[in-house]
Chains A and B, each alone.
Chain A
Amino acid sequence: MSTDGTAPDRAKPTPPQRPPVSDVELVGLTPKTPAQKFTRWLSRSSVQIVLVIVALFWLMPTIGLLITSLRPAEAFARTGWWQAITEPSQLTLENYTSLLGDSNLIDAVLSTFYIAIPSTLFPVFMAALAGYALAWIPFKGRDTLFLILVGLLVVPLQMALIPAFSVFRTFGLSGLPALWLFHTAFGLPLAIFLMRNYFAGLPGSLIEAARIDGASEWKIFLKVILPLGFPALASLTIFQFTWTWNDLLVALVFSTKQQPITLFLRDRLGEFSTGIGVISPGVFLSAIVPLIIFFAFQRYFEAGLLGGSVK
């Protein structure tokens, strides 16, 4: 009936008896009388209004943060951020200019990239390799192995923190390599699961044809599987990158010199009111990278996050 997917609202017909269903009846359901039209308009516009209000409420905290980050800390101590809406003269870029001159913050932003990029590429690549083998190289016990690997999803990373910490120390691995390895390990089960399932859905004829042509498995992986698997790789990469970019727990345990922006923020929470001039623009800068990814690669982002929700 409704081609645009919306459910048409109607005046509430509550006939005492079930009317016979016919095409005539269905036509009769479209509002005819002014009263019916009015009820329909009312219920439709009230839904609109409710949703507009909900959307405004949902945006409010983010807007509040943005405005807070554009006001001096003294203003935060006195009045709420919304005062700046009627008095825009309060707004200043001072927090940002002083923050961008803060070498600690620059280091934190760079460190977050140093941590997140390898922590994303390693597991995605390893999972792509494993996913290909699990999908297209038949060997004995393959399904069992797949089940075991994916089963590792049940292990919360808290279960590994303490021993991993000691192991890294014994091997003299600390800071970045430790973070990369740990993020890789806990990114893998989900990544393998997604890769294997996506690759398994690719047309087998292409791979068989390549094999007959004498291409090596490695070549097939690079030239056939990776290009065809792009959508899944993109979603997974975006998910894993956002995950590691936003991580706090792993960084708290394994970071040494190179501290991500979440740690930078966390260290400043002790003096919240006086530090708001650093904290609020810091939060905004930490959010801007995933938000850009979110808006630029919206579809992949959604797919990645929904897939990753099992984590």
Chain B
Amino acid sequence: MKRGKWLLAAAFLAPAIVVLVGLVVWPALRTIFDSFYGPAGKEFVGLDNYRDMFRFERMRIAIRNSFIWVIAFPFFVTITGLILAVLSERVRWRTAFRLMLFMPAAIAILSSGIIWRIMYEANPERGAVNALLNIPASMFSPPGDLAGATPSTDAAFDRDGLIVSLDVGEDGGTVLVGMIGIREDEIPESAVQASSIADSPEPPGAGTLVGVVWRDARPGENERGVVEAGEFGIPDVVVRLIDAQDQELATGVTEPDGSFRITGIEPGAYRARIPASEFREPWGGITWLAPELATMSAIIAGIWIWGGFALLVIASGLASIPRELQEAARVDGANEWQVFRRVTVPLLAPVLGVVFVTLTINALKMFDLIIGIAPGSVQDEANVIALEMWRTAFTGLGNRGLGSAIAVFLFVLILPVMVFNIRRFRIEEERR
């Protein structure tokens, strides 16, 4: 009977054991062995691979980035999950909310990376993240009406803006400021045909300066410096009249036809200045996937992917802590923050630990997200250990020895975290 039991058990266990020994145990041992051998796995090189690993620039960047991942990612995801778990306890639609946040976990991580690459487009016109940031940015420093424009008439830029010299005679003066470099779709909607007032044979009148700021370009042929039919005025441009001492005398603002009028001026030589703010370029956006930012941006995408997981685990932990303790603290006069900090968080500590450790392992194994999110030219700078292992072993010539050494290195980093994870997992299961 005993023998029979053994055979029976063996029959049930055999398929799993054969596969595990053949494809996990043996290959893992073989990888350790290989890590002491050269690129083709032929010559014994001792610890050379382990030394070289820290010498190669690409691998050093990968180690640095993995380090950043391990430090930042579990922390921010756990915090996000904790805050949202506590807050969502207070609303009736918490199940829907948690489900919504958990959804990204179902999607391939590569796909999530691609989704965020779309979000991170640098141009605020195209990338949603920068478009959102552009709202406050354009509030605090709005782009000028003349952004990107250069003068077509006689004028020069100085530190404070564009300077035009002009004369005001006994019966007034005129000035023309033509602008080029404004795209057709950049013409403001309020703009109309540019004013021909400056060309009028009648003088503006004593003490009066009239001028036109206009887009000195139209479809087809056009003459520079002349207001022609089909050319638009530029409205709302501030023009300051200054004297030789750089003293501001008067200010005009252009009409929809680009004309402005300043009165009460003594005859003489003056200068008109269009302030630099009128030429201010719109905000160009943050290049989120630039080499120096890519790791941070990928971590933000990581929060989006795993935040829902952290939220769910912490929420289920929250549901199991006795509510009386929180109530008691409130009765004792603790405010909500104190209840959270002194009662809820300590009671949740084991759950938070579980989430944190799981995320640490995920951070170390990070692979597909980098491939999905980082443009080809940034892959080297956003590199992580797990990605570098694959690149070393399976791309280009394929260095078997070094690839194995990186795998072992990764294993050594994951091992303690994983042992901790499994141990608490077993304890938890037994408690059930």
Our verdict on whether A and B bind, yes or no, reads yes
Q: A139-B5, A197-B429, A291-B106 are in contact. Are A283 and B111 (CB under 8 A)?
A: yes
Which has the most chain B C-beta neighbours within 10 Å: A48, A82, A155? A155
Q: Is the CB of B91 within 8 A of A158?
A: no
Q: Mark B392-432, 1 if CB is under 8 A from A, else 0.
A: 01100000100110111011001100110110011001001
Q: A64-B115, A269-B371, A269-B372 are in contact. Are A163 and B27 (CB under 8 A)?
A: yes
- A266 to B111: give the CA distance in the assembly, Å: 9
Which residues of chain B (317-336) have a CB below 8 Å from chain A?
319, 323, 326-328, 330-333, 335-336
Q: Which residues of A contact B27 (CB under 8 A)?
A: 159-164, 167
Which has the most chain B C-beta neighbours within 10 Å: A77, A137, A142, A149? A137
Q: Which residues of B contact A145 (CB under 8 A)?
A: 13
Q: Is the CB of A283 within 8 A of B429?
A: no
Q: Is the CB of B309 within 8 A of A129?
A: no
Q: Is the CB of A18 within 8 A of B13?
A: no
- A189 to B418: give the CA distance in the assembly, Å: 13
Q: Which residues of B contact A300 (CB under 8 A)?
A: none
B contacts with A: majority SS? helix
Q: Which residues of B contact A14 (CB under 8 A)?
A: 333, 335
Size of interface on B: residues with Cβ below 8 Å to A: 104
- A149 to B92: give the CA distance in the assembly, Å: 43
- A217 to B244: give the CA distance in the assembly, Å: 106
Q: Mark A145-157, 1 if CB is under 8 A from B, else 0.
A: 1000111111110
**B351: shortest Cβ distance to chain A, in Å?**
11
A87-95, A97-105, A229-237, A301-309 - interface stretch: A301-309
**B390: shortest Cβ distance to chain A, in Å?**
7
Q: Which residues of B contact A161 (CB under 8 A)?
A: 27, 389-390, 393-394, 407
User: B87 an interface residue at 8 Å Cβ cutoff?
Assistant: yes
Q: A80-B128, A158-B389 are in contact. Are A55 and B376 (CB under 8 A)?
A: no
Which residues of chain A (52-68) have a CB below 8 Å from chain B?
54-55, 58-62, 64-65, 68
Q: Is the CB of B107 within 8 A of A249?
A: no
**A147: shortest Cβ distance to chain B, in Å?**
9
User: B104 an interface residue at 8 Å Cβ cutoff?
Assistant: yes
Q: Is the CB of A126 within 8 A of B90?
A: no
- A78 to B126: give the CA distance in the assembly, Å: 7
Q: Is the CB of B90 within 8 A of A6?
A: yes
Question: Would you give 18 A-B contacts (Cβ < 8 Å), ordered by A?
Answer: A61-B115, A130-B17, A140-B6, A149-B17, A153-B418, A154-B422, A161-B390, A162-B403, A165-B394, A188-B16, A188-B24, A262-B368, A265-B111, A266-B110, A266-B371, A269-B371, A286-B111, A310-B421
Extra contacts, 6 of them, besides A65-B114, A283-B115 (Cβ < 8 A), are A6-B90, A137-B12, A140-B6, A160-B23, A165-B394, A287-B107
Top 9 closest A-B pairs, CB basis? A185-B23, A246-B108, A133-B12, A160-B27, A163-B27, A163-B30, A294-B106, A130-B16, A154-B418
Residues of A within 8 A of B (CB): 1-2, 4-7, 9-10, 12-15, 18-19, 21, 25-26, 29, 44, 47-48, 50-51, 54-55, 58-62, 64-65, 68, 76-82, 126-127, 129-130, 132-134, 137-140, 142, 145, 149-156, 158-165, 167, 181-182, 184-186, 188-189, 192-193, 197, 201, 217, 221, 242, 245-249, 252-253, 262, 265-266, 269-270, 272, 276, 279-280, 283, 286-287, 290-291, 293-294, 298, 301-302, 305-306, 309-310
Residues of B within 8 A of A (CB): 5-6, 8-9, 12-13, 15-17, 19-20, 22-28, 30-31, 34, 84, 87-92, 97, 99-112, 114-119, 121, 125-128, 131, 304, 307-309, 312-313, 316, 319, 323, 326-328, 330-333, 335-336, 358, 365, 367-368, 371-372, 375-376, 386, 389-390, 393-394, 400, 403-404, 406-408, 410-411, 414-415, 418-419, 421-422, 425-426, 429, 432
